[in-house]
């Protein structure tokens, strides 16, 4: 990852990153009531049919704004490829907008390559591994969280043990 990051490029990258973060936060705030309504429905056993195209996430206008924020994150990384938080957020954007978890994971790995002891990054990646049943990889992140004495370690240990137990059934 060779780059000639100047102070000016770094400042521009930070500004773009902040703009993206602010845009995504606004989108999440507007979508949370729909998410909550959807979860309430699901928990009351009134789930929509499996073939339903309705999703409690973002509407088309919100997705367009999210894509704009994703573009800012990409540009931020072009200006300063040594900014790990931008990689993590960009990974989340690919997962939330396109359902592209392979790209999400690649960006998570880029973030961890730059900041290998960031417990938030390990926590996010471990959650993905647990969701996809990749328990050996989840265990690697869990052990790293425990070595770091992360605040995430205890709860992620429980999630990991539950996943292992469910796999035995």
Render pLDDT for 81-110 as a digit per residue (tens, 0 to 9): 999 999 999 999 999 999 999 999 999 999
- pLDDT for 52 equals 46
Decide which of 50 and 92 is more confident.
92
User: Are residue 9 and residue 72 in the same domain, yes or no?
Assistant: yes
Helix (H, G, I), strand (E, B) or coil at 50: coil
Residues with Cβ within 8 Å of residue 164, at least 6 apart in sequence: 135
Tell me the mean pLDDT in the region 140-149. 98
Q: What is the pLDDT of residues 54-66, one digit of tens each?
A: 445 788 999 999 9
Residues 63 and 87 both lie in one domain: yes
Tens digits of residue pLDDT in 113-122? 999 999 999 9
Domain boundary (74, 100, 126) is at: 100
Please give the model's pTM, rounded to 2 decimal places. 0.85
* Same domain, yes or no: 76 and 127: no
Together in a domain, 88 and 11: yes
pLDDT at 153: 98
Question: 31 and 6, same structural domain?
Answer: yes
Contact 121, 85 (CB under 8 A): no
pLDDT exceeds cutoff 90 at 163: yes
Q: Are residues 85 and 18 in the same domain?
A: yes
Our count of domains for the chain comes to 2
Q: Is 3 in the same domain as 74? A: yes
The reply to whether 124 and 90 lie within a common domain is: no
CB atoms within 10 A of CB 159: 16
List Cα–Cα distances, 36 to 21, 33, 42, 124, 126, in angstroms: 22, 5, 10, 22, 25
Nearest Cα residue to 67 out of 102, 104, 96: 96
| Percent of the chain predicted with pLDDT > 70 | 84
What is the DSSP annotation of 112-149? HHH-TT-HHHHHHHHHHHHHTT-HHHHHHHHHHHHHTT
Q: How many CB atoms lie within 10 A of CB 48?
A: 13
Kindly indicate the confidence band of residue 42, based on its pLDDT and cuts at 50, 70 and 90: very low
- Rg over alpha carbons for the chain, rounded to the nearest Å, is 18
């Amino acid at each position: 990852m060779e780059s000639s990051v100047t102070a000016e490029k770094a400042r521009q990258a930070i500004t773009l990153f902040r703009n993206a973060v602010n845009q995504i936060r606004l989108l999440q705030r507007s979508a949370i009531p729909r998410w909550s309504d959807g979860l309430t429905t699901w928990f009351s056993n009134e789930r929509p049919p499996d073939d339903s195209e309705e999703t409690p996430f973002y509407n088309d206008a919100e997705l367009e704004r999210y894509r704009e924020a994703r573009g800012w994150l990409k540009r931020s990384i072009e200006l300063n490829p040594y900014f790990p938080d931008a990689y993590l957020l960009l990974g989340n954007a690919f997962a939330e907008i396109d359902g592209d978890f392979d790209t999400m994971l690649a960006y998570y790995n880029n973030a961890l390559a730059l900041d290998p002891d960031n417990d938030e990054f390990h926590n996010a990646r471990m959650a993905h591994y647990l969701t996809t049943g990749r328990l050996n990889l989840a265990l690697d992140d869990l052990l790293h969280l425990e070595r770091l004495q992360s605040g995430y370690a205890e709860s992620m240990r429980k999630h990991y043990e539950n996943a292992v137990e469910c796999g035995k059934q």
